[in-house]
Structure 1
Amino acid sequence: MIALVLLVQVALPLLLLAWLALFPAGTLVGWLTQALGIAAFLFALARIAQWALPVWWLPWVYGGLWLAAVSLQLLGERMRGLPPLPETSLGWSGLVLSVVLLGVGVWYGARALAGRSLPPVDVVDIANPLGPGRYLVGHGGSTALVNGHMRTLDTRIERFRPWLGQSYAVDFYGLGPWGLRARGWLPADPAAYAIFGAELRAPCAGNVVSAEGGLPDFEPPKEDPVNRLGNHVILRCGTAEIVVAHMRQGSVSLAQGDALAIGDRLGEVGNSGASTEPHLHIHAQRPANEGASPISGKPLALRIEGRFLVRGDRLQGGAPALP
């Protein structure tokens, strides 16, 4: 997995930028298509990939390198008198590759941007559930390209039906020094992750429907596929339920029926349940039918502090929860 991330999110962008900087096309149409194709591809990659690994600001570095390469070539004398179209098979091959990059970038970039639109479901507005810190959205949005939870909308797949309520969930990673999510690539110690132990607080006023705090935190990438929510709190706020999952063992001291106000402490982020590394999972749903899985209710969209958060967005944590 790490090797694939390094290949797609580091090696490939650098290879394309080196191609543009060191081997620019020798024709006007070829160069324009090469520059635009690489730009479109890098934009789509920036919107689609999870930049918790390696780091969230790396796409901005790629953008700066692209701009520098294009600017230097436009300001140089090389661009003067370029023929309009290639005259060699190598030139045509480069043009074809550039057209492919442009098409892929535009297609997937547009689909990623479409994920920023609210889905055709009711929307629940909540307060910021996270305490002090900086956080990155790993999954979020209204298309499966930027939000892997949306696969559970496919009711034809039987194993997804008990998880239907999580279809528009948002997952958060923490951002530590230099914007890194953890100390290392995939450390086994949950405490090495920036979000582990982050304070969680009630994002709405309501009553606790379900709470669990005694399940273990696993060493990444181990997980518990049976108790999928792990340590969690389900809070009923009006006609909606807010599900906060993968909390830290021993951090939840709530019980069914407890009444909470906005900002009251829920617990801390952990690595329990079906979580391969510490992160916060939060989603909104209608209450599940009696006797059904607790997260099988009708999925709802979430706005946090007025924002419909999508993969790659960042959120600043709020003040500490009230005692």
Structure 2
Amino acid sequence: MRGDAPFWRSYGPMLASLVLIGGAVIYVTAWGMARQDPRPFLFPLKDGSFIVAHGGGIGILNHHSHHPAQRHALDITAVDAIGFRAFGLLPGDPARYAIFGKVVVSPCTGVVSAVVDGLPDLPPPTADRGNPAGNHVVLACDGLLVELAHLRMDSVVVQAGQQVSAGALIGQVGNSGNSTEPHLHVHAVDARSGAAVQMSFDGAVPVRNALFER
């Protein structure tokens, strides 16, 4: 007489289906949340293959989502020709990451509101929690404040009060501030209310794992 089938044989397919359905629901929900009246911007990086490491309206896709002003923030990394973010396994030299030193340009036309430069690029995964944004630039563009953070030390070429056009050189990607590996952090807020503003590039609102070729 045959005994009862093992649990995984009886219920495994059903559980796998539930996991897949749950994942699809989460993704569709995030997709919808990320497309509520976004503001268009120029993509702020040049000359590379860039991937959104964090982005989207819910925590599973974006570790910034719990912060009201950064709910729609993006952390952007890059990959090399064979798809790796870095040369080696979690290297401690920031220069071994594909995005380190990549050119950062203004995503909008406006005025430079604030500039911080001169903070060191730290060896991953060291982070400077006392200076969360590290070297950064804040732009005032059409009623918004747009922050570009974790820039490379001494790479910023703009000054507070300077007029900039979309596409103007800002600096380079670094690993300054509260950053465990080189990446560009960008977020926008309403200048009056401080509320987070959704951003779109090339007509689409990016979420985690979105790819941009430049």
Provide the aligned C-alpha RMSD in A: 1.7
Q: Assess, with a 3 A threshold, how the Cα gap between structure 1 residues 288 and 244 changes in structure 2: closer, same or farther.
A: farther
Q: Does 1:225 align with 2:140?
A: no
User: Which of structure 1's runs of 4+ aligned residues deviate more than 6 A?
Assistant: none
Q: Does 1:146 align with 2:43?
A: no
Q: How far does residue 90 in structure 1 lie from its aligned partner after superposition? A: 2.8
Map 1:190-209 to 2 at 5 A.
Answer: 190-209=94-113
Q: How far does residue 142 in structure 1 lie from its aligned partner after superposition? A: 1.6
* Residue in structure 2 matching 1:256, options 160, 179, 183: 160
Deviation string, structure 1 residues 236-284 (Cα, Å, up to 9, x no partner): 1111111110000010022111000111100000000110000111111
Which residue of 2 is the match for residue 304 of structure 1?
201
Q: Does 1:241 align with 2:138?
A: no
* Residue in structure 1 matching 2:32, options 112, 117, 121: 117
What secondary structure sits across from 1:125 in the alignment?
Answer: strand
Q: How far does residue 98 in structure 1 lie from its aligned partner after superposition? A: 2.1
Q: Does 1:129 align with 2:26?
A: no
Q: Give the TM-score normalised by the residue count of structure 2.
A: 0.93
What secondary structure sits across from 1:224 in the alignment?
Answer: coil
- In 2: Cα distance, 1:299 partner to 1:276 partner: 24
Q: Give the TM-score normalised by the residue count of structure 1.
A: 0.63
- In 1: Cα distance, 2:103 partner to 2:140 partner: 20
What stretches of structure 2 of length at least 5 have no aligned partner? none
- In 1: Cα distance, 2:192 partner to 2:173 partner: 24
What stretches of structure 1 of length at least 5 have no aligned partner? 1-86, 153-163, 290-296, 318-323
Between structures 1 and 2, the one with greater helix share: 1
What secondary structure sits across from 1:179 in the alignment?
Answer: coil
- In 2: Cα distance, 1:238 partner to 1:256 partner: 17
Whether the 8 Å contact between 2:139 and 2:146 is mirrored in structure 1 is: yes
Which residue of 2 is the match for residue 313 of structure 1?
210
Deviation string, structure 1 residues 39-62 (Cα, Å, up to 9, x no partner): xxxxxxxxxxxxxxxxxxxxxxxx
- In 2: Cα distance, 1:221 partner to 1:189 partner: 10
Between structures 1 and 2, the one with greater strand share: 2
Which residue of 2 is the match for residue 265 of structure 1?
169
Q: Aligned pair count? A: 213
What secondary structure sits across from 1:116 in the alignment?
Answer: helix
* Residue in structure 1 matching 2:4, options 73, 89, 93: 89
Which residue of 2 is the match for residue 165 of structure 1?
69
Q: Assess, with a 3 A threshold, how the Cα gap between structure 1 residues 304 and 88 changes in structure 2: closer, same or farther.
A: farther
- In 2: Cα distance, 1:129 partner to 1:231 partner: 16
Which residue of 2 is the match for residue 276 of structure 1?
180
Q: Assess, with a 3 A threshold, how the Cα gap between structure 1 residues 109 and 120 changes in structure 2: closer, same or farther.
A: closer
Deviation string, structure 1 residues 207-229 (Cα, Å, up to 9, x no partner): 00111121110000001111111
Bigger drift between 137-146 and 267-276 goes to 137-146
Letter in 2 for 1:298: A
Q: Which has the larger radius of gyration?
A: 1
What secondary structure sits across from 2:32 in the alignment?
Answer: coil
Which residue of 2 is the match for residue 30 of structure 1?
none
What secondary structure sits across from 1:209 in the alignment?
Answer: strand
